[in-house]
Chains A and B, each alone.
Chain A
Amino acid sequence: MTVAQDQPSALNFECETGNYHTFCPISCVAWLYQKIEDSFFLVIGTKTCGYFLQNAMGVMIFAEPRYAMAELEEGDISAKLNDYEELKRLCLQIKRDRNPSVIVWIGTCTTEIIKMDLEGLAPRLEAEIGIPIVTARANGLDYAFTQGEDTVLASMAHKCPTKAPKLEAEKKERNAVSSLLNFGRKKEDVTQQESEYKDHQPLVLFGSLPDPVVTNLTLELKKQGVKVSGWLPSKRFTELPVIEEGYYVAGVNPFLSRTATTLMRRRKTKLIGAPFPIGPDGTRAWIEKICSVLNIEPQGLEEREAKIWEGLEDYLQLIRGKSVFFMGDNLLEVSLARFLIRCGMTCQEIGIPYMDKRYQKAELELLEKTCKEMGVPIPTIVEKPDNYNQIQRIYAQKPDLVITGMAHANPLEARGINTKWSVEFTFAQIHGFTNARDILELATRPMRRNNNLKELGWEKLVKEEAKI
């Protein structure tokens, strides 16, 4: 203890200029429209927004996506056209062509600046056309990348039913996850299964994850006797979970602070502040925390975690003792750094767009604890980083791996610095025990590539230009 006090033992937070590269938060449309199958996302913005989505979503754009731009024209900006009438016209067209169960309006920078009252227009139009409208201000003035999902889920939290329906049949339909898990079983079996769950306050999880990951995490909790009453979001808008006052909620992703706040303040739920289920260490801590809040003694988690680590050994050999630098763009950075440090890496810097110290409290504590246990220095957390400064630090520190956006990846590679493109962590399946391999598959890819190519001696592929 005394020794530890001589070194900086607490996390060090810094804040830079905010000149960094990240995706616009409207990109959340790309994964949310696929997650919520009966939704339609309407991004109300300009050509700039459309161009970004079209390029960022790549081939998805050609698959008749359930998203479109409401492209603002000069008449909209100067208020020559009536916002309500224009939106009504487009929403009716969407209703006719696609018949969605919900239309999500994504407000952008432009709607903010011209102060288009989307929240005010939505209820009126909703009543007129008969389709629920959810409004989310996912704009680049206020948010970065994954925070877009946060704004959408926070709005959606308001649309969750307040009271559990009385009828058993309806309840089953409403509860997508449990009916999925009970699929094909007789009713007696289902009742018998219900008894496998411990008696606890209802728990709703929030955060959009691919369905296989949802099933996986739900089963993981089921092993502990924890019943997941629902997920925000569900596969369909019509299956949004019931949220009553006093329910417990837990987040699965580190960027969901607004959603957490909304669930606590507006829906009167109790938030279980836990580290996030990323990496086997995170997953175990997440389950343990949920169990402890629900007064359940967790069973066999230690063995489960150890078993997973055992299976990772081939990957761990590649990264043990290596250093990693997070430039920061998707808010997964703290959880990923904590996991990679547990894997035996050292971390020099954790860049992050926005740090909610309250929502991420448990994760930050686990990071600190992990550093101490692994005997490595505690990294600096740089909020709103400055990419130019970061690149100077990267040149100086020469990390073995830089986790960064695509704008910097190729130029860094050309200078002999290994990179992993950060956005892949957003789209890959990285949650739970089972997916730990996937994270390392991504993180070790440049190392494995290097092993394959190391004989060639082609590391630096740019000519040094004399600086004036």
Chain B
Amino acid sequence: MKLAYWMYAGPAHIGTLRIASSFKNVHAIMHAPLGDDYFNVMRSMLERERNFTPVTASIVDRNVLARGSQEKVVDNITRKDQEESPDLIVLTPTCTSSILQEDLQNFVSRASMDTKGDVMLADVNHYRYNELQAADRTLHQVVKYYLEKARKQEQLPTGKTEKPSVNIIGISTLGFHNQHDCTELKRLMAELGIEVNEVIPDGASVHNLRNLPRAWFNLVPYRELGMMTAEYLEAEFAMPYVDITPMGVVETARCIRKIQQVINHQGAEVDYEDYINNQTLYVSQAAWFSRSIDCQNLTGKKAVVFGDNTHAVAMTKILAREMGIQVVLAGTYCKYDSDWFREQVSEYCDEVLISEDNGEIGDAIARHEPSAIFGTQMERHVGKRLDIPCGVIAAPIHIQNFPIGYKPFMGYEGTNQIADLVYNSFTLGMEDHLLEIFGGHDTKEVITKGISADSDLNWDKEAKVELGKIPGFVRGKVKRNTEKFARDRNLSEITLEVMYAAKESVGA
């Protein structure tokens, strides 16, 4: 057992549902108890979805517990097939059904005899995979299913498209700014003269999956979702893939150069250098921004980055390489893919943190006292408590992270958006400090820098008042140094004397 207050990645079935509900006319049926269809609420609220989320539950209740699901799952599948005629029904196991160990595959085979659409069982183990891994696996499973089916029916189109073309793999529902990224990537491809063959899974029809091999290459913009599919397509159809996330000026250029290499290898004769140069210097404002005096002020400022692999890596590189900001700590909650993360960021940050424990991350932020945080909603709240501004760069996210306005993180417009995000975070922080230095609104309670509840030190009244008088931007440091001083000397009560003694000893 693990005591947990917060989790970064959701349970496996959420990943499967994200894939199923991204496709057009695919329905997911969860084998789950009442109340587990919370996914529908998230999709309806966060994405402000106008249509009913194509997810229903085959309810596991007391009767199912006693006698097994029997006909229930099969009935629910055939009923949904008649009601909505989906192309595909994905039976989705949950943590509950994992323990029940019912033969869901058998239900699927039986149901598929009576359905017009296809039926499949999502092959994800709740206790082994999280949301992201499950999404990656499910996408792979669906793609593989339809390509094998087409091959068997000899309906697999042969040959490539006439012009260079690409499949964009990994755009999904409830993904962080995925819709905007997708638009930006399509625009980028258009400017490079590359046709978009298919975008999967978002808005795709399963009938079109057989066209995937017609593209010249695959683009996998997110590390977490689509890699398995790209590797499968490479192995089966010798399709090369580009997995460089075009986020930030340098990485976008790298991604485009890689694309150039991949398609030239197949006979295209393109040279994107002029395009990259023009975009970098004049279209994207980010390169100019990093030369401007605004950005000069950010030089050497400390930042902490935390998020999923894709976004934390990209942000770390942008901050360190493109803006001259010191990333004191870069971290990810994608524990299962931590080697890749280390390899990507180690030269751009002082310290790497791989953890799924929000307390540990909160404490690390408190310890480093950065000028800004770039993280998830959890880090934003840590920032609020510590009075450190935070830009949200990765899921888990709230409704405000599904903006209506155009806010890609990828491509050249993405670089502009990120520059704004970074700059706004830092200036807000500096304004705030200036206010405090000049006594603007210094009426707040003393802030606690430790996130966990294990502070064993007592500040007496006078010491607290004294601490309150210290300007906010150094208050945390003074508090920390004093407490360290007291702890080293086994003092449990912090009085004015202790404070002064600490100051004298460490110069706090």
Contacts and interface: CB of A to CB of B under 8 A. Distances in A.
Interface in B58-88: 59-62, 65, 76, 83, 85
Contact of B35 (A23, A409, A462): A23
B44 A69 contact: no
A311 interface: no
A193 interface: no
Interface string B472-504: 000000000000000000000000000000000
Given A51-B10, A65-B5, A142-B61, 20 more contacts: A21-B41, A24-B34, A44-B1, A52-B38, A55-B38, A58-B398, A59-B381, A69-B5, A70-B1, A73-B2, A77-B99, A77-B127, A89-B1, A97-B452, A141-B62, A144-B35, A388-B83, A411-B51, A461-B50, A462-B50
Contacts of A48: 11, 13, 36, 94-96, 126
B491 to A, nearest CB: 21
A261 interface: no
Contacts of A414: 50-51
A48 B4 CA distance: 12
A90 interface: yes
Interface in B421-470: 452-454
Contact of B41 (A47, A140, A407): A407
Interface stretch (A106-114, A166-174, A316-324): A106-114
B10 A22 contact: no
B455 to A, nearest CB: 10
Interface in A359-416: 388, 391, 405-411, 414
A201 to B, nearest CB: 38
A68 interface: yes
21 contacts: A19-B57, A22-B35, A24-B33, A24-B34, A47-B95, A48-B126, A51-B38, A52-B38, A65-B5, A70-B1, A73-B2, A77-B99, A90-B3, A113-B100, A140-B33, A141-B60, A141-B61, A144-B35, A407-B41, A411-B44, A411-B49
B161 to A, nearest CB: 29
Contacts of A114: 99
B221 to A, nearest CB: 25
Contacts of A18: 34, 59, 61
A76 interface: yes
Interface in A1-27: 18-26
Interface residues of B, number: 55
Contact of A140 (B34, B99, B126): B34
A76 B44 CA distance: 34
A181 interface: no
A137 B5 CA distance: 20
Contacts of A140: 32-36
B2 A71 contact: yes
Nearest to A27: B35
A87 interface: yes
Nearest to A21: B37
Given A72-B1, A90-B3, A408-B52, A112 B38 contact: no
Contacts of B99: 77, 110, 113-114
Nearest to B11: A47
B188 interface: no
B21 to A, nearest CB: 12
B506 interface: no
Contacts of B65: 112-113, 141
A36 to B, nearest CB: 19
Interface string A34-62: 00000000001011101110111011011
Contact of B6 (A59, A61, A76, A141): A61
B56 interface: yes
Nearest to B59: A18
A64 B7 CA distance: 14
A71 B1 contact: yes
Interface string B93-119: 011100110000000000000000000
B262 interface: no
A145 interface: yes
A93 B359 CA distance: 14
Contacts of B37: 21, 407
A7 to B, nearest CB: 34
A139 B33 contact: yes
A18 B130 CA distance: 29
Contacts of A303: none
Contacts of B36: 24, 48, 52, 140
Contacts of B398: 58
A109 B3 CA distance: 18
A46 B95 CA distance: 7
B169 interface: no
Nearest to B96: A109
A73 B6 CA distance: 16
A303 B402 CA distance: 50
B381 A62 contact: yes
A164 interface: no
Interface of A: 18-26, 44, 46-48, 50-52, 54-56, 58-59, 61-62, 64-65, 67-74, 76-77, 81, 86-87, 89-90, 93-94, 96-98, 109-110, 112-114, 139-145, 388, 391, 405-411, 414, 461-462, 467-468
A87 B7 contact: no
B11 to A, nearest CB: 4
Nearest to B385: A62
Contact of A68 (B4, B62, B396): B4
Contacts of B32: 140
Contact of B126 (A46, A112, A410, A467): A46
A407 B53 contact: yes
Contacts of A411: 44, 49-53
Given A50-B7, A76-B1, A141-B60, A405 B41 contact: yes
Contacts of B89: none
B96 A90 contact: no
A68 B45 CA distance: 25
A165 to B, nearest CB: 33
B40 interface: yes
A461 B50 CA distance: 8
A113 B3 CA distance: 21
A410 B48 contact: yes
A50 B83 CA distance: 33
B219 interface: no
A20 to B, nearest CB: 8
A414 B53 CA distance: 13
A139 B453 CA distance: 30
B378 interface: yes
A161 B380 CA distance: 44
Given A97-B454, A140-B36, A410-B50, A51 B5 contact: no
B3 A145 contact: no
A109 B35 CA distance: 11
Nearest to A392: B83
Given A24-B38, A113-B99, A141-B65, A47 B50 contact: no
A181 to B, nearest CB: 31
B17 to A, nearest CB: 12
Nearest to A43: B4
Contacts of B6: 54, 61
Complex A-B, nearest 7 residue pairs according to Cβ-Cβ distance, in ascending order? A24-B35, A140-B33, A407-B40, A414-B50, A62-B381, A47-B11, A140-B35
Nearest to B131: A51
A141 B33 contact: yes
A113 B100 CA distance: 7
B51 A462 contact: yes
Contact of B453 (A64, A144, A408): A64
B50 A51 contact: no
B42 interface: yes
Nearest to A89: B1
A22 B33 CA distance: 11
A388 B81 CA distance: 13
A327 to B, nearest CB: 13
